[in-house]
Chains A and B, each alone.
Chain A
C-alpha cells in the first residue's frame, strides 16, 4: 500500500515543492512517479525512484528507497500544476498506485 501526502497543496510559480509517498513495506527502489493534468492521461516522470524519464525537465527529481520516497519540483512552473501519483511494482503485477497529490495554485 502506498500513501501519498499531502493529498493537495497550494504553491506558487518558482516554489520548491516536495511530495511524499510512503510504502507500507520495504520496496527497495521499485517506485515510479507520474504526472496527470486534468482531462489528460498520466505521463511517466520518474522511474526506479530517482531516474528521470526521457524528455522530463531537470527541475523534477526523485529520491528515497525502502519505504519513504520524495518527488521534488525545484522551481515550479505554470505547466506543473497537476496531480502526481506514485506507483509501486514488483517482479510481476499487481501494480499499485498511491492516492495522488494535487498541486494547485
Chain B
C-alpha cells in the first residue's frame, strides 16, 4: 500500500521560508513523477508544482514561480518543497501526490497534507 506522509508545516511570518517534506513508502519512488497540490481553507484545489521521476523537469504554477522549489531524493524516497518569500495567500494545506507513472497526468495517491500558515 502506498503511503505518503508530509511533514514540516507550521506557522511562518510573511516573507519567511519553510521547507516541507513528503516521505513515500510502498512504492518504487524513483519510478514516479510527483506533485504538490494545495488547498486554502474552505477553497478548492490548486496545483503548485511537479517534478519528473528523476528529479528533472520541474514545473511551477504562476503563483509560486520564482519563490518555490520542488526537489526529490530518490535514495531516501522523499519529496521536498522549499518555500521562500511566503505570502498570506500561500496559507493552505499542502498535499504531496504521486502520479500514475513517469507522466504527469493523474494523481493516483495523496498524502494527508501538512498545514502552512503564513501570518504575523
Chain B hits for A44, CB < 8 A: 106-108
Sorting the interface of chain A by its residue count into under 10, 10 to 19, 20 to 34 or 35 or more gives 20 to 34
Residue of A nearest to B111 (CB): A41
Chain B hits for A30, CB < 8 A: 105
Contact with A along B98-116 (1 / 0, CB 8 A): 0010001111101111000
Measured in the bound complex, the distance between the Cα atoms of B9 and A85 in whole Å is 25
Sorting the interface of chain B by its residue count into under 10, 10 to 19, 20 to 34 or 35 or more gives 20 to 34
Q: Are B44 and A47 in contact (CB under 8 A)?
A: no
Q: Assuming A41-B111, A42-B95, A43-B110, is B45 touching A97 (CB within 8 A)?
A: yes
- The contact of B45 among A43, A85, A92, A94, by CB within 8 Å, is A85
Chain B hits for A36, CB < 8 A: 45
- The contact of A41 among B44, B50, B95, B106, by CB within 8 Å, is B95
Contact with A along B37-71 (1 / 0, CB 8 A): 10000001111011000000101010000000000
**Between A and B, how many residue pairs show CB distances below 8 Å?**
63
Contact with B along A44-58 (1 / 0, CB 8 A): 100110000100000
Q: Are A98 and B47 in contact (CB under 8 A)?
A: no
| Extra contacts besides A40-B112, A87-B45 (20): CB < 8 Å | A32-B105, A41-B95, A41-B110, A42-B95, A44-B108, A87-B106, A89-B106, A92-B59, A92-B104, A93-B35, A93-B104, A94-B61, A95-B35, A95-B37, A95-B107, A97-B44, A97-B47, A98-B44, A99-B44, A100-B45
Chain B CB count within 10 A is highest, among A47, A85, A95, A99, for A95
Minimum-distance CB pairs A-B, first 5 = A41-B110, A93-B59, A95-B47, A89-B105, A97-B45
Measured in the bound complex, the distance between the Cα atoms of B37 and A100 in whole Å is 15
Residue of A nearest to B45 (CB): A97
Residue of A nearest to B50 (CB): A93
Q: Are B111 and A85 in contact (CB under 8 A)?
A: no
- Min C-beta distance of B83 to chain A, whole Å: 18
- Min C-beta distance of A35 to chain B, whole Å: 11
